[in-house]
Amino acid sequence: MKEISNLIAYRPDVKVVDATLRDGGLVNDFYFTDEFAKALYLANLRAGVDYMEFGYKASKEMFDEDKFGKWKFSRDEDIRKIVGENATDLKIAVMADVGRCEKSDIIDRADSPIDLIRVATYVNAIPGAVDLIEDAARKGYEVSCNIMAISHSLEGELRAALDILGRTPVDVLYIVDSYGAMYPEQIARFADMYLEFAAKYGKKVGIHAHNNQQLAFANTIEAVGDGVDWLDATYASMGRGAGNCAMELLLGFLRNPKYNVYPAIQFVDKYMNQLREEGVVWGYDLQYLMTGLLNQHPRAAIQFTKEKRSDYTEFYKEMVSQD
């Protein structure tokens, strides 16, 4: 049984990370207007959010710039158009996906509006992650590492990966429930493992949860109670497939006087509801529940949604036959 103080007490080390432009961008190919991005930045400032993730540093050799909005590439000059010199407490982040980005696109921190590089990797790509982490740290950035799809990882492999990453300059090690397949009890066990290596090497631990089984918020607050400090969320849960932990839920839960849920509610009311009215689709639905239950990548459910299918029973039979 957790100490209730772990859930309701003021935690000065907690950091809230807004991933709306990045994870949400996977829903609409990153076609957010500058008005939306600026309003999101201002909402984060008013709400007391600690980090705002703008998007990916994607390779222009691998991805056609004509097929994506600007936050697929997150150029420094585009970020500056939104944040200026960002003389605030809100820090700026971008994601570098191992094998899908170029180190040359990440310039020295002294010349960039970006504070944090979030390296995303799979267990089998840890050497590439180490290379990106060390490069970003040399350039002066804070660095985190998201180990994706850990619900498919063997414990021995994951422990080896955490030990390797612990010996790098990475600042934060992220628990990532990529498929929305995990339950709070499993999160607790992963948190114990990650915190073991974090304590050994002087790191912090974060969580990035998906909402396939409507557990993204529950899993996030489970992690908080276990001692995890860095918490990802998106406004109105916008994110790939079933989406993420809702920012408005998380800010309403945290007993930290620096956070204010009202600006989050205002932003959802004016901007996120408008996206839905314009036809952008994300969030919990039966097809995402199925891939979560089966611990599968949501790509099939995403395709089901794009095709506007409604034969959920048939889709379930298709998913079971692949499992």
- In angstroms, the Cα distances linking 101 to 72, 98, 106 are 11, 7, 9
Domain locations in the chain?
Answer: 9-277, 286-322
* Strand, coil or helix: 88: coil
pLDDT of residue 8: 58
* Opening angle at CA 247, ends 74 and 132, nearest 5: 35
The DSSP string of 167-180 is TSS--EEEEEETTS
* Cα separations in angstroms, 22 against 96, 128, 132, 213, 320: 11, 21, 19, 21, 31
CA-to-CA distance for 215 and 218, rounded, in angstroms? 5
Q: How confident is the model at residue 12, as a pLDDT?
A: 82
For residue 84, what are the CA distances in angstroms to 41, 57, 95, 133, 226?
11, 19, 20, 26, 37
pTM of the complete model = 0.96
Cα 10 to Cα 64: distance, rounded to the nearest angstrom: 45
Dist. CA 116–CA 136, nearest whole Å: 9
In the prediction, which pLDDT does 72 show? 98
Token code pair at residue 43? 């909402």
CATH code for the domain defined by 9-277: 3.20.20.70
Which pLDDT does position 53 carry in this prediction?
98
Helices (H), the chain: 5-8, 20-23, 25-28, 34-47, 76-83, 126-138, 155-166, 184-201, 216-226, 247-253, 261-267, 273-277, 286-293, 299-306, 312-322
Give the per-residue pLDDT at 1.
Answer: 52
pLDDT of residue 84: 97
d(CA 144, CA 76): 19
pLDDT 10s digit of each residue in the chain, 323 long?
566 556 556 678 999 999 999 999 999 999 999 999 999 999 999 999 999 999 999 999 999 999 999 999 999 999 999 999 999 999 999 999 999 999 999 999 999 999 999 999 999 999 999 999 999 999 999 999 999 999 999 999 999 999 999 999 999 999 999 999 999 999 999 999 999 999 999 999 999 999 999 999 999 999 999 999 999 999 999 999 999 999 999 999 997 889 999 999 999 999 999 999 999 999 999 999 999 999 999 999 999 999 999 999 999 999 998 75
